[in-house]
Homo-oligomer: A and B are copies of this chain.
Amino acid sequence: LKVPAHQIPHCLIKGLPLVRNLSGYPQNNFGREGLSHITIAGAVLDGLKEVELWLQTFSPGSRTPIHRHSCEEIFVVLKGSGTLFLAPDLHMRQPAKPNEFSIFPNSTFSIPVNAVHQVWNTAEDTDLQMLVVISRPPVKVFIYDDWLMPHSLAKLKFPYYWDEECFHLSKDDYNDEL
């Protein structure tokens, strides 16, 4: 028996006020150690089709997977510092040794579409907090075990960690060209 998403209390956002207090938003690590993720507004709960906004905090040493996606992505670092790893070339069989860029408070960067990347809190003792904008939610992520894995072997994770529970429940609402 399938329970529609709108009958699961925390998958229901329609009843919430238009203007919401982020301070009260539920945080979760969605099974990823050192992560705190909040979807500020997005596809699965809010029904947005074109943009989604996240607030993410990485504890020291924690990081995103090595991954790529065909959507656009913009980061703004609110607090802390770390390293952006970015594959040098889209046209090889595999990402190969990434370029490294320091990221710092008030810095911003955009990830080229389909570029393989990873964001890592390389600081010793401060959290890395970022706002992340993506297009065409919900995000479809291809994950690499390492930088030498061929693109063709990267594994699709969809729905992504934070979309998983409510997405499955509301799957019928989506027409996605997966």
Question: Interface of A with B (CB < 8 Å)?
Answer: 17-23, 40-41, 46, 48-51, 53, 71-72, 74, 76, 84, 86, 101-104, 106-110, 131, 133-136
Contacts and interface: CB of A to CB of B under 8 A. Distances in A.
Contacts of A48: 72, 74, 110
Contacts of A84: 18-19
Given A50-B71, A133-B51, A76 B107 contact: no
B50 A18 contact: no
A108 B76 CA distance: 17
Contacts of A108: 19-20, 22, 40-41, 53
8 contacts: A19-B84, A19-B102, A19-B103, A19-B109, A21-B104, A50-B72, A53-B108, A135-B135
Nearest to A22: B106
A18 B18 CA distance: 35
A129 to B, nearest CB: 13
